[in-house]
Structure 1
Amino acid sequence: MVDVARMTSYLRRRFGEDAAVHDLEYIHGGYSKYTILVSATFEGSRQEVVFRQVPKGRHEEDLPFEFDVLRHVWAPDRPTPEPLWIEPSRNDLGGPFLVTRRAAGSNLGDVFEAKTSVPEQFSLDLADFLAQLHRLDPASVEKAPVEPMRTPEEIRQAIDAMAAKAEEATGIGPRLAAVLGWLRAHIPQAGGPPSLLHGDVGLHNALTENGRLTAMLDWERSHFGDPAEDLAYLRPSLEPVYPWQAFVDRYVEAGGKAPDPAAERFYTVWQDTWRHIACLTHGENFFDTRVVPQMIAGLVQSRRFLASAVDSAFGNVTHHAADRS
């Protein structure tokens, strides 16, 4: 763990002996990176910054691609974290990390649902932001953190890679096998040039303050693909608190393209399946890390995501509580 003394030492080596750390706090909840909030003085002023550090054994090779995406999407008037610098290899603080300016605001919910009221203006801001993101020219982004998912062959490869992770983690049970079969049978055709996607859009990754969207966080799942994927990720958590058609209408008005219903359904099944398998992997990692949230993900959240994937693919069915996969 990085403490105030280590962080102060690092900042002084980078910015000079006048650098000082006033406060440091770890934010819990994520699995793929440590999030460290730092209040410090450097370069002549007090600054609030966020360190996103890759834990040992995670995919540190993707960090520079995530930083490149952040630099591509950031603008002063756009609700994204401002990228400051990156340490792409192991360093005095441990694993590689990237640093952004801290955005104001708080979350309205988690990956499943809203935990408080969602202001209408926040929903409109989010529609505007996604329309703007999906219109950005991705040509200057050489590579995103996640492999592209635009052509049928790329999507098929992503399904195969996801299935391999499930097989390695716990094996593939009959319900998961059925869902994977459904995905392979319903791969959408490419409907236009690829867009840059956030890849994990939801209330859990959005910050709000005074009813406005202030930042979309965590770009580690960004990739090139169909904008319908981002919309499908968002819909389950937003639709219960804001009319979905009104959201899509605003998205189209802001320059986005209305999602093809078949593609949106495919990515609805896809996102729950991906999250189910990610939770299975976290659950297996618990035996090495002893991190309790990883155990909860493997035992509880994984079942919830699989049930949702089955419902979206085949309709409501009765789920056996003991069936993990």
Structure 2
Amino acid sequence: MDSDKRRLLAAIGESMVRMASRYGIPASDMNHAALTTAVVELLRREETDAVKAFYSTGYALALRLAEMLRQDGVAAADIARLHRLPQSIEESANFASSQDLLVELKEILSSLISRSGYPSDPNAGLANVISSLCSWEGDHHKVAPSSAPKTQKRYDFPQMLESSARAQAGAFEGAQVVETTRLTGGFTNETTLFKLADKNGRIWDLVARANTGLVFGIDGRDIAGEFHLLRYLYQGGVSVAEPMWLERNVERDGTKFLVTRKVEGENFGTVVEAQRLNSSQMQALAIQLAKIHTLPLNEAHPDLQRSHIDMELAGGSMTEGLSNYLERWIRLWRSTGLENSPTIEATLNWLRANIPGVEDAAVLVHGDYALHNIMMQGDEISGVLDWEMSHLGNPAEDISGLLASFSNEEDAEEFMRFYIEAGGRPITVFEREYCNIFRYFMLYVVTLESQLRFYSLPDVHIEFLVLGSYIQHPAQRMAQAIEDAEKAKSHQ
């Protein structure tokens, strides 16, 4: 690498750290985090020696794995392909060619793991190699840019909102949109805050959630299904935004979207950082989650029938619900067409083989019950947002993700006490550890796809770059999480 270029990039990074310290810029500030991430990535791309060393380590692990499988007489084609790869990358190789070799090595490793029999194989040596591969992959991760996904035509969203509102007639006849604010984030749906002036001069604070039109593995549920679920939840007393109307006229407006009233309050967390709650706030959070998990589900209700919840699972067990949701995420992972991952192959084998056996009936699960999706006013919850990932499953799915954001185990124990007092079902340590691994897998998919969006699409927000940089978090923790879950399982 050119020494002057490296010094300049390093100087930018060092200056940004000093500015953050001097002006108290929080870690959750996406602009500052994106700049930091970009500088680190530019520096990393110039360090081809690090890529070469990483490749050599991975190749050595692949040889160990191949030797074990050869003895069992499986994966002959993959082993032959491995031996056709060089054991090390030439000194003269650049970053791009080194990445190509690395991608092929990871593809072979993924295939080897899928044929290895893990985790049912009792070979302790195999488990050790796979654990080492998980740690290896977490140390250095990069998504090679691929072809850009197809996008739909961009439309004049304020005009769409205005024409849709007027079509509702009544007080909204002749209504005018006087202000719009488009929020960043959201993988399948985008959120816009807008103020609408009705014919009587009243100002309505509203929120629109629309399909993005981006073709990605994380397919999201039909926005119409989310609207009907919100109506059912609102009628059932769950703290959600009041649904106003659903716009289905794609021909006129370009996309489907739903409109709700704006929920007042503030978030107590972001996707990367969470504040500590006081005891009253924690109790409110637990009571609300217990209400969601114990909500009666009337299978005959028209809104539930038209929602995205698979009501064919109603009456089935939590094991069946969790298994169904896992298979959905596996299909999403396969459909992305992204690079292979030995870490993910090992994780999926483990998850399928160890689904907690719970015969209690599956309950409504939010799917992302985290502080960045909770609006609070003081010590009360004013709204639970973003229900696109909700499904029927095990309440441990929501609980494990939420507890992971707490700063200590004492807070987690206090939350669980409040939750059980509110009627929630106690969960075992193994259920919690299992769902932690499942959560890491989902986070891996989300962050990987976030990186792909940033590198493939010219008009996405820099937040995708920041979120994508967190892929090392699940990758580095997967092996330890599986070890923790195995310990919990042995003590059941």
Cα deviation code 1:250-284 (max 9, x no counterpart)? 11111111112222211111012112112222322
2:298 counterpart letter in structure 1: A
Please name the residue that 2:329 is paired with: 162
SS in 2 for 1:31: coil
Pairing 1:20-35 to 2, within 5 Å after superposition: 20-35=176-191
Cα deviation code 1:94-152 (max 9, x no counterpart)? 211111111001111123431x4423322111100111111111233236536569554
TM, length-normalised to structure 1? 0.85
TM, length-normalised to structure 2? 0.58
2:186 counterpart letter in structure 1: G
SS in 2 for 1:238: coil
Which of 123, 130, 136 does residue 282 from structure 2 map onto? 123
**Native 8 Å contact 1:111 1:237 kept in 2:** no
Higher Cα Rg: structure 1 or 2? 2
Q: Which has the higher helix share?
A: 2
Alpha-carbon distance in structure 2 between the residues aligned to 1:307 and 1:151? 29
Please name the residue that 2:439 is paired with: 271
Please name the residue that 1:314 is paired with: 483
Structure 1 residues 225 and 187, CA gap change in structure 2 (3 angstroms): same
**Native 8 Å contact 2:189 2:209 kept in 1:** yes
Alpha-carbon distance in structure 1 between the residues aligned to 2:235 and 2:323? 34
20-29 or 7-16: which moved more? 7-16
Structure 1 residues 152 and 6, CA gap change in structure 2 (3 angstroms): closer
Please name the residue that 1:212 is paired with: 380
2:442 counterpart letter in structure 1: W
Cα deviation code 1:174-205 (max 9, x no counterpart)? 22222222212211123311111111110110
Structural RMSD (CA):
2.8
Alpha-carbon distance in structure 2 between the residues aligned to 1:84 and 1:119? 33
Please name the residue that 1:297 is paired with: 467
**Native 8 Å contact 2:436 2:481 kept in 1:** yes
Percent identical: 25
Structure 1 residues 43 and 244, CA gap change in structure 2 (3 angstroms): farther
Cα deviation code 1:40-77 (max 9, x no counterpart)? 12374321110000011354762222112111111496
Please name the residue that 2:343 is paired with: 175
Shift of 1:249: 0.7
Alpha-carbon distance in structure 2 between the residues aligned to 1:270 and 1:139? 29
Which of 3, 6, 11 does residue 165 from structure 2 map onto? 11
**Native 8 Å contact 1:60 1:96 kept in 2:** no
SS in 2 for 1:71: helix
Structure 1 residues 24 and 246, CA gap change in structure 2 (3 angstroms): same
Shift of 1:80: 1.1
Please name the residue that 1:93 is paired with: 253
Alpha-carbon distance in structure 1 between the residues aligned to 2:330 and 2:409? 33
Alpha-carbon distance in structure 1 between the residues aligned to 2:437 and 2:185? 24
SS in 2 for 1:187: coil
Please name the residue that 1:320 is paired with: none
Equivalences, count: 314
**Native 8 Å contact 2:220 2:389 kept in 1:** no
Alpha-carbon distance in structure 1 between the residues aligned to 2:427 and 2:410? 18
Alpha-carbon distance in structure 2 between the residues aligned to 1:43 and 1:310? 60
Alpha-carbon distance in structure 1 between the residues aligned to 2:211 and 2:284? 30
